Structure 1
Amino acid sequence: MSTPYAFTVELGQPIGLAMETLRAALAAEQMGIVSEVDVQATLKAKLGLDSPPARLVGVCSPRIAHQLMSIDPDLAALLPCGCGVNELVPGRTRIALQDPRMIAAASGNAAVAEATEEVRAALERVVARLREAG
């Protein structure tokens, strides 16, 4: 299953290992994880709900984020790029990385579109690395 707003890939790994694999793939593109929310723990603590392992992750290229915010400081509201990591079946984790074209579409600015194409290409390489690790 794919979506028009995200790159998706499934790994035959439990969520902890998949997060390590994701970090390594991002680092190869000079990107990283700037925030991480343990959804499973949060739902349990706040609502008493049991749920499968899941993370909400903020992915960022510091260089591109700086470039985007230099073009339009209000773009900070759309950063970092979102990423969902879900272990819906034990040992099988799905990763969905936001397509940065969503930022370009929201801005309508040609300079923003150019910058997001660069990070989009990097994320495509990240997904290729993840598939190899799969």
Structure 2
Amino acid sequence: MKLGYRTTLQTDFDDAVARTREALGDVGFGVLTEIDVKATLKKKLDEDMENYLILGACNPQFAHRALGIERQIGLLLPCNVVVRDDTDNPGTVIVEAMNPDIMVAVTDAPGLPEVASGAAELLQKAIAALD
């Protein structure tokens, strides 16, 4: 099973973040959380790293269905989408979205595979739209 879906963009970090937010919104995902890993590690540990942002993306319909099937599935929500500079290729930004099938792998709840499949289809569509 793939951990996630990935694309690379030849652009700057801020543009990649804006395009990712737009692509997620176009397929029905909102961004509920945002973790600036670079800023957090600098503040907490005085460590430097490349731009690295984790967006917590949520599609309300799929989240509602998944929670109706298995309340503990909230431990795996929202779906993480990472936008990060490619340190090996300056001017390149990597965008990765988690594979919702991971939720299915940790529970055998009936009905969850269909929810994960639908969410996966939309996340793949959002990632593909960035190309």
Query: How does the TM-score come out when normalised to structure 1?
Result: 0.91
**Partner Cα distance (1:47, 1:68) in 2:** 36
Deviation at 1:63, TM superposition (A): 1.0
Deviation at 1:22, TM superposition (A): 0.5
State whether structure 2 residue 129 is matched by structure 1 residue 129. yes
Deviation at 1:32, TM superposition (A): 1.7
Contact 1:15 1:54 survives alignment (8 Å): no
Deviation at 1:124, TM superposition (A): 1.5
Kindly provide the amino acid, as one letter, of the partner of residue 129 in structure 2.
R
SS of 1:82's partner is strand
Contact 2:53 2:83 survives alignment (8 Å): yes
Deviation at 1:18, TM superposition (A): 0.5
**Partner Cα distance (2:36, 2:121) in 1:** 28
**Partner Cα distance (1:124, 1:56) in 2:** 17
Identity %: 27
Deviation at 1:67, TM superposition (A): 0.8
Kindly provide the amino acid, as one letter, of the partner of residue 35 in structure 2.
V
Off by >3 Å, runs of 4+ in structure 1: none
- In the alignment, structure 1 segments of 5+ residues that lack a partner are none
Deviation at 1:82, TM superposition (A): 1.4
Kindly provide the amino acid, as one letter, of the partner of residue 33 in structure 1.
V
SS of 1:107's partner is coil
RMSD over equivalenced CA pairs, Å? 1.3
Kindly provide the amino acid, as one letter, of the partner of residue 99 in structure 1.
N
Number of matched pairs: 129
**Partner Cα distance (1:17, 1:95) in 2:** 12
Partner of 1:80: 78
**Partner Cα distance (1:34, 1:91) in 2:** 27
- Match runs of 1:94-109 below 5 Å: 94-109=94-109
